[in-house]
Chains A and B, each alone.
Chain A
Amino acid sequence: MKNQPTHFLLVEDEPAHAELVKIAMDENAVANTMDHVEDGEEAVRYLNGEGQYAGRRRPDVVLLDIRLPKMDGHEVLEYMKTRDHLSTIPVVMLTTSDADSDRIKAYEHNANSYVTKPVDFEQFRKMVRDLQLYWAVWNHPPVTTP
Chain B
Amino acid sequence: MTSGFVRFDECGGVGRVWVVPLAERNRVDRDASPTPIDTTKLEVELKSVVNELRLQKFAIDEHAIVAITDPAGIITYVNDKFCCISKYTREELIGRTHRIINSGHHPKSFFVEMWITIASGETWHGEVCNRAKDGTLYWVDTTIVPFKDSSGKVTSYTAIRADITERKAAEEGLARANEKLQKTNEELEQFVYTASHDLKSPIVTLQGYLDLIRKDIENDRADRVPGFIDRLDTACGKLRKCVNDLLELSRAGYVTFQPETIRMREFLAKLLRSHDLEIREIGVDVRVQEELPDIVFDRQRLVDVLDNLVTNALKYGMTADEPVLSIHAHETEAEVRFCVQDNGAGLNPDYHDRIFNIFERIDTSRGGTGIGLAIVKKIMTNQEGRVWIESEPGEGAAFWVAFPKTLSTPALSTDTGGAYEKPTDTLSSRRG
Contact = CB atoms under 8 A, between A and B. Distances in A.
Contact of A38 (B200, B211, B364): B364
A87 to B, nearest CB: 24
B200 A96 contact: yes
A126 to B, nearest CB: 12
Contacts of A14: 201, 205
A96 B204 contact: yes
Interface residues of B, number: 26
A13 B365 CA distance: 10
Contacts of B211: 120-122
A140 B45 CA distance: 106
Contacts of B210: 121
A127 to B, nearest CB: 11
Contact of A69 (B196, B204, B363): B363
A116 B200 CA distance: 11
Interface stretch (A17-25, A48-56, A76-84): A17-25
Interface size class of A (residues with CB under 8 A): 20 to 34
Contact of A67 (B205, B351, B359): B359
B235 A16 contact: yes
Interface centre among B204, B208, B351, B364, by most chain A C-beta atoms within 10 angstroms, is B208
Contacts of B200: 96-97
Interface string A18-40: 01100100000000000000110
Contacts of B234: 16
Contacts of B362: 69-70
B8 interface: no
Most A CB atoms within 10 A — which of B197, B204, B364? B204
B212 interface: yes
B209 to A, nearest CB: 7
A16 B231 contact: yes
Nearest to B231: A16
A131 B212 CA distance: 20
Given A16-B234, A101-B193, A121-B211, A69 B205 contact: no
Contacts of A19: 231
A114 interface: no
Interface string B139-152: 00000000000000
A125 to B, nearest CB: 9
B351 A17 contact: no
Contacts of B212: 23, 121
Interface in B229-256: 231, 234-235
Nearest to B232: A16
A38 B363 CA distance: 11
Contacts of B26: none
B406 interface: no
Given A16-B231, A96-B200, A119-B204, A70 B351 contact: yes
Nearest to B207: A119
Which among A39, A69, A117, A120 has the greatest number of chain B C-beta atoms within 10 A? A69
A71 to B, nearest CB: 10
A20 B227 CA distance: 12
Given A16-B235, A119-B207, A122-B211, 6 more contacts: A16-B208, A16-B234, A67-B197, A67-B201, A69-B361, A99-B196
